[in-house]
């Protein structure tokens, strides 16, 4: 559920608390969430985001929630209705409880094996390593890793569930389309049962909202004004993850606009699979501890949210909690709440939903600096810049070291990102304005590509 928000982004970041904080989401918490169907007695509702949806099966009637326009008018058209062949669309994370009770007759199985069955997974998968975590996760519903994992032992909850469905029904023609790039190489275990490839239905249907609808030629708001920035960075973090906590601390005392509203649990940052702040090199450790003190003593750091007190991550369990979303504080200006901040910065340090995992993926979050014609540093799984390049976007290797994208050791990649930040910090604002002018062809290209890519399938 990390990228849901009805695909209409307020450019919020997503979160998931560490298992140190909360091992299980309680039934009582889930039952308190308005509009969510958690029953097992056949009851349905119109909330689409926690469900498996199915279309074009001869023996399965579409559920009421599947009539939502997000599915019928966006996702299905974006995949050309899968040629009207049997199709599943999963809008959530983890195992699919509905799928575990679907059993086809031999006659239907024969038809399905002829036509094929396709799954579209709209959210990043919940990955785990059988050698290190068994069937559990290092974070509540997904795992983080060191970066040295053998693909032969990589699994995902979603693919496990599909495998069980396949074997139970004797299916032989199943495809899985996921937003996790390079999945076919990361998960060789599943080749016996299914074909897994990357096709991101979320990105195909992401809608940019809360951005000023200026024309591409308009230089008034995002052109001339944005060249007169006075700060070096912006870093927006809505929901909590470890890498967001770390980068917010690293930037907290920099020339940066930072949004971070959570009180740090230092025990978490000492027990991550890929990072222990106590063992961090001194040149980074001192700065991180000082930044954590700034967050705890001066926070919450509000930008596009409005909190009076720091949030306790143990009391804001993901994915049920929407506290941050509920506190969205629209600007009184006629322009968008965050546009005024983007006008005044040089570079966006983008924190994607995942960091310490093997499969690259990105969301609308990186589209935001592109829209505002700003360069960015991307905190995401390794290979995500390469993925963006394949999608037609340009990045900034001509201006700073982007080798962090090639680094599969997640701790080392974090330090490489720190070094890029320090390099930019070493420049004066005047120097950065000159660099910005040289970047303008890339920035204009990315802005236009984002603009052209929105609903380009329509």
Every domain of the chain and the residues it spans = 5-204, 207-453
Residue 218 reports pLDDT greater than 60:
no
Identify the band that residue 250 occupies on the pLDDT scale cut at 50, 70 and 90.
very high
Instruction: Express each pLDDT in 64-122 by its tens digit.
Output: 999 998 899 899 999 999 999 999 999 999 999 999 999 999 999 999 999 999 999 99
pLDDT at position 330 is 45
Residue 26 reports pLDDT greater than 70:
no
pLDDT at position 210 is 47
Please state, for a pLDDT cut of 70, what percent of the chain lies above it: 79
d(CA 131, CA 376): 36
d(CA 276, CA 280): 7
Contacts of 261 (CB under 8 A, 6+ apart): 299, 300, 301, 302, 305, 307, 310, 311, 324
pLDDT at position 319 is 33
d(CA 452, CA 189): 37
pLDDT at position 133 is 60
Flag the least confident range among 17-21, 125-129, 225-229, 371-375.
17-21
Residue 239 reports pLDDT greater than 70:
yes
Mean predicted confidence (pLDDT) in 254-261: 95
Residue 13 reports pLDDT greater than 50:
no
Residue 221 reports pLDDT greater than 50:
no
Residue 9 reports pLDDT greater than 90:
no
Residue 44 reports pLDDT greater than 80:
no
Instruction: Express each pLDDT in 390-425 by its tens digit.
Output: 999 999 999 999 999 999 999 999 999 999 999 999
Flag the least confident range among 10-14, 213-217, 333-337.
10-14
pLDDT at position 90 is 97
């Amino acid at each position: 559920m990390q990228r849901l928000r009805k695909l209409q982004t307020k450019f919020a970041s997503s979160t998931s608390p560490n298992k140190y904080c909360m091992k299980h989401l309680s039934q009582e918490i889930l039952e308190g969430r308005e509009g969510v169907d958690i029953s097992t007695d056949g009851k349905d509702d119109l909330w689409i985001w926690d469900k498996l949806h199915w279309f074009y099966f001869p023996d399965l009637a579409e559920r009421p929630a599947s009539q939502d326009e997000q599915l019928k008018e966006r996702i299905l058209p974006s995949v050309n209705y899968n040629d009207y062949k049997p199709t599943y669309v999963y809008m959530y994370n983890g195992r699919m409880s509905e799928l575990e009770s679907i059993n086809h007759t031999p006659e239907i199985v024969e038809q399905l094996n002829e036509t094929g069955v396709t799954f579209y997974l709209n959210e990043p998968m919940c990955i785990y390593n059988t050698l290190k975590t068994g069937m559990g996760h290092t974070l509540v519903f997904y795992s983080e890793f060191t970066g040295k994992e053998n693909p032969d032992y990589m699994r995902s909850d979603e693919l496990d569930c599909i495998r069980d469905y396949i074997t139970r029904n004797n299916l032989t023609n199943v495809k899985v389309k996921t937003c996790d790039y390079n999945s076919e190489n990361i998960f060789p275990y599943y080749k016996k049962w299914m074909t897994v490839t990357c096709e991101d239905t979320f990105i195909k249907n992401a809608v940019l909202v809360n951005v000023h609808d200026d024309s591409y030629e308009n230089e008034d708001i995002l052109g001339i004004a944005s060249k007169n920035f006075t700060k070096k960075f912006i870093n927006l973090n809505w929901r909590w993850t470890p890498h967001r906590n770390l980068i917010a601390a690293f930037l907290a005392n920099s020339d940066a606009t930072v949004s971070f509203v959570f009180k740090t649990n230092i025990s978490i940052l000492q027990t991550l699979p890929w990072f222990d702040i106590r063992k961090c090199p001194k040149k980074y450790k001192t700065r991180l501890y000082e930044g954590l003190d700034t967050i705890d003593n001066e926070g919450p750091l509000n930008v596009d949210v409005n909190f009076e007190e720091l949030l306790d991550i143990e009391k804001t369990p993901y994915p049920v909690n929407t506290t941050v979303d509920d506190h969205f504080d629209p600007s009184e200006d006629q322009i968008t709440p965050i546009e005024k901040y983007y006008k005044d910065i040089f570079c966006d340090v983008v924190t994607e939903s995942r960091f310490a995992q093997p499969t690259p993926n990105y969301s609308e979050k990186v589209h935001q600096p592109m829209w505002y014609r700003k360069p960015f540093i991307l905190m995401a799984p390794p290979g995500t810049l390469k993925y963006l390049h394949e999608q037609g976007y340009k990045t900034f290797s001509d201006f700073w070291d982007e080798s962090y994208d090639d680094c599969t050791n997640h701790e080392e990649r974090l330090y490489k990102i720190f070094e890029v930040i320090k390099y930019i910090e070493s420049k004066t604002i005047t120097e950065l304005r000159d660099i910005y002018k040289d970047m303008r062809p890339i920035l204009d290209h990315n802005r236009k590509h984002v603009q052209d890519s929105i609903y380009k399938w329509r």
